[in-house]
Structure 1
């Protein structure tokens, strides 16, 4: 296994594999490394460089969000090379699916070893709703699966705040209703009022402008968005 291999190195090969099967794929949605949706089918894939009890517990917990949960590891992982037969039995017994990614210097190969089956516990409807809401509201695939919060964080909520901030940057003090009309953001007034990131200054009742903090952080987030888009192409 390459010394500098990271969990996120498994992401693009799996994304391309699932995309070719007709799935829409996004990384790091509500702490799930990969979420893939096709029609009404939801897949969750957890990425790890090796297999341990923490990963198994995490994967089983994902059954509250989707029927089909996979673990993905490098084919070069020591436990897979040495305990392949026992590993496949264990994962199948838990009702999980197993994906291995063969990491080569110039090419990566994805193989589905087994699909999830048998184990179908009761779903947590509230958490599943939050997962699907974040997936559907997020514009594009903004985070590599397996990335950490220090290099990620571009949630659907922040994307919407960025759109409002970009509009205010080019406009005089404006109301939430005017922003809604201009960029089709029905919760613009709520974003301005809550001011979660301290990006907005209230000039007078109902009128807001972009704060100095908002101007500075908007520049940083636009750069991050550009970098994320380049990484996913």
Structure 2
């Protein structure tokens, strides 16, 4: 039976790779992004459905959810590292704006989307949210909101578990070839991040996509409430 998969932030980077992986399995995949032109182009290239939606806007999220009668897989890949916006306010105003932007993009986007489709998730389905090694590394506002994402996902797992639905976070380490660093990645920083790993290579978007695909497979049915660290050993757990 064909599965229905929704990937927020699916126009580039990790989200796009996850959408491509599920599309290769002949799932009916929907991707979202904030820019209509970008969404349309990515959807055409991937052979999936595209919906322009700002996952931090409750009205737009509700309209997105209304498209589905049932949903098998939700992947919360929307998010990123917000840029500090110049302004005329005080230094505290700037701090508040930065934290609010991180909360909106990296936590509330997932919370709103999951809440909007919660009653449409099928038994045997799953919610997968993309976290970050920054949650373990004192990553400022970004790391704090990714840590909160993991705590929320664990709570969601408890609520959805009795309905046969799993909820997990994939905590990604350094992933090369994305626009996360907005062109600010230096060769020195790249080498340092690779050196932290045990296998001495950067992660790829395909590493995360394959992990997401596994969590949505029969083999992942008893994995829930977890933060799955995919970082080549740069951060280890016991």
Over alpha carbons, which structure has the higher Rg?
1
TM-score w.r.t. length of structure 1: 0.27
Larger RCO (CA under 8 A, 6+ residues apart): 2
TM-score w.r.t. length of structure 2: 0.26
